[in-house]
Structure 1
């Protein structure tokens, strides 16, 4: 099938400039972009023509850090920082069945798509349930849950039609080193058995921050090498036990994780020395502005991290700590937080943050050859954003207006692989209505059985 998009304000997020074409067109064949140009589009016999009538056409967002299974647990732990919020939200989810996880993850995946995120790095909930933190360490380790609890979260993303990289914890509190690595391989095998156009890869949920094992970093590096996967670690996120957190940086460094492209998720409570060493070592970063504000975690020193040369992507994080999976809101919160911290408007420009949330995330995740920008050869994952519904006023600087003035009401269509995936905030997936019904039935039932979380 050929799709021809015409009369578009193209935001390509490609090249050295701002990646913008005022009067543009784009051709899609078999789900991939095959041509982009300015002016009137060429005639293509038999093509389906999508006339966007002056709307923005931009790449789908790439969330570099997500927890989609939390979609049925929004609004919990509102008076808590990270660990108290985890007690509330993960305390509820710890009692969920594999099918509860499936429907909550499907609900979250479809919500991501309907709100403009077409690719996500997603952490499945570990098979060992969350335990409260005491003095910077988990208070214990529960029993290992069945692997279906993990695999059904993966299936949900696939069934939603979301492109994804699936990350899982090594759950290293149970088993020998070989048992831990073999168990992790079951997840990798499952991801690699799925449609590779959707399942873009597998990864480790780095957990040296919480692991009871002194060799946790070495074990994660062994898994990275054995399976050829990424590792994104929740690291230096919260204000609690900051010095203890910082001391664990050396574990990743000494294990050789930096040179393998370790991704630091959050990376807020840093020092100039840690930033310099991480960047020089080859590490990357994922920034979650809305989550960092919601949980009172702080503001990452984005100017210093950029100056050090560390690649940065942006993630929407948990739907239960961002609460609304709105990528424009997430970008603006980041811009405003950095500017408020630095006093310098140039420290966070809209076009720079847009790139982090699209192509920058794709680069951090190693999938920039397929997603993150509108370029020939990449998947045709794109958004149609109407600047007149509601009206943004004159577009003095279109790319900056796109970042600063867009609301979800302006998002009229979402395409994945050239196929319509959502329109006016409503998913086209045949499972969408059932996902809503299941989440509204299942999660209150879990709470009723095990106790309503705070």
Structure 2
């Protein structure tokens, strides 16, 4: 790749700069340099960016890909009311249905420049709202077949991912839950290691009625060295009850670099200080938090305390348009309006959070999130002249503030083009779309006729 304005997000070198890079047969970057490639650089294929902006693929630190066929539901609901509306039809899905829903979500991410995602797989457990601030999942072991199908779907779509699974809920046998997890770990070990980057668990303390949930999560984390990302302190209702459960994690020994709090909005400064001191991270979903009226996370204070922060697109049915540019601009607007201070979130920082920051908080920054030698060549070609946004005074300013999906002209994963504009290169993409429309229509008919 030559004739590009590179936004490498490499913390060890200044950018942007006009430059070039090369990709090896393994899909990883072998050189990233300013200027023109010197004589003698050989390649099977040369791409000319024509002066366009080229940055790393976005990393979503928090996603639910199976919800891709459920957009626009629960329009005027807060979190638990929206979940009831969104899962009305997906709760009736079988293993084949969930495969196609997840693959649909994965290819939607790729089309929009999101090349890596932390994906919370659907556990197949029934969700029930007790009040605006209290909800439960079935007291049962999750459906392993569901989880396996969602892993296959991401691999088949070509999306890099961290695959996250939920453990048993309620009064379940610990040995049975851990044995089931062993099965998931064994299957994940057979997945394409270039696409399946890590396995994680989806913590459930937010919905649990017993401290045993935190104990089980810690046992699972230590058994296989897993990351744990729980949805935690998200809901603006029953806040004191939610906050009291932070002690469950602390007393179970869960706090540490492998615990990443999803959302982490209804916090106290004491909770923030304890999480930061232990090395925990958090994932921030500004579009989802706004859509569901969940609130605004204390990102400036969280970063001041030294916590790692990544950004996610969350459910495709509560972010609705999986647009990382919209997510970044929403993040800027929420924080700046809340704090009355543009320094609450600088433009360069918000792009770093949605790329390198997400990779760091997930522990996969040795593979994705930046354009650095040795990382995968996952990159976007973004042209501010088609359609024209005017002169580029600052590449970061134009990239984050003035560009959007309409300027995203190409998406590459491992040096291989996967999308041209809004068109996917995968010949199976139209079949995926047809499958999702057909299956969601069937599920709607089945559920609504009961």
What TM-score bracket applies, with the shorter chain setting the length?
A: over 0.9
Does residue 328 of the first structure (1) align with residue 330 of the second (2)?
Answer: no
TM-score (norm 1): 0.96
Q: State the superposition RMSD in angstroms.
A: 1.6
Gaps of 5+ in 2: none
C-alpha distance in structure 1 between counterparts of 2:389 and 2:249, whole Å = 46
1:89 is aligned to 86
Deviation larger for 398-407 or 53-62 = 398-407
Distance 1:312 1:46 in 2: 37
In the TM superposition, what whole-angstrom CA distance separates every residue of 1:231-284 from its partner, at most 9, and x where no partner exists?
Answer: 001001111111100000111111111125310000111111111111011110
Question: 2:296 — aligned with what?
Answer: 299
**Matched residues in 2 for 1:189 and 1:405: separation?**
45
- Does the CA-based 8 Å contact 1:242-1:269 persist in structure 2? yes
- Secondary structure of the residue that 2:371 maps to in structure 1? coil
Aligned to 1:357: 354
Deviation of residue 216 (structure 1)?
0.7
Q: Which residue, out of 16, 21, 24, partners 1:20? A: 16
Provide Cα deviations, 1:120-169, integer angstroms capped at 9, x if missing partner. 00000113222223374435626656422221111100000000011111
Does the 8 Å contact 1:57/1:383 carry over to 2? yes
Q: CA deviation at 1:374?
A: 0.1
Q: Distance in 1 between matches of 2:311 and 2:24?
A: 29
What is the SS of the residue equivalent to 1:111? Answer: helix
Provide the C-alpha distance between the structure 1 equivalents of 2:285 and 2:28, rounded to a whole number of angstroms. Answer: 29
- For the 8 Å contact 1:144–1:174, the answer to whether it is kept is no
2:7 alignment partner in structure 1: 11
Query: Which residue is equivalent to 1:421?
Result: 418
Distance 1:69-1:340 versus aligned 2 partners, 3 A rule: same
- Match of 2:156? 159
Which is further off, 369-378 or 11-20? Answer: 11-20
Q: Deviations over 1:288-318 (max 9, x none)?
A: 0000011010110110000010000000000
Counterpart CA distance in 1 for 2:343 and 2:356 is 20
Which residue in the other structure is 1:406 paired with?
Answer: 403
TM-score (norm 2): 0.97
The 5-angstrom pairing of residues 55-454 of structure 1 reads: 55-134=52-131, 136-138=133-135, 141=138, 146-173=143-170, 175-451=172-448
Aligned residues: 448
- Rounded to whole Å, the distance in 1 between the matches of 2:137 and 2:365 is 39
2:37 paired residue among 38, 41, 44: 41
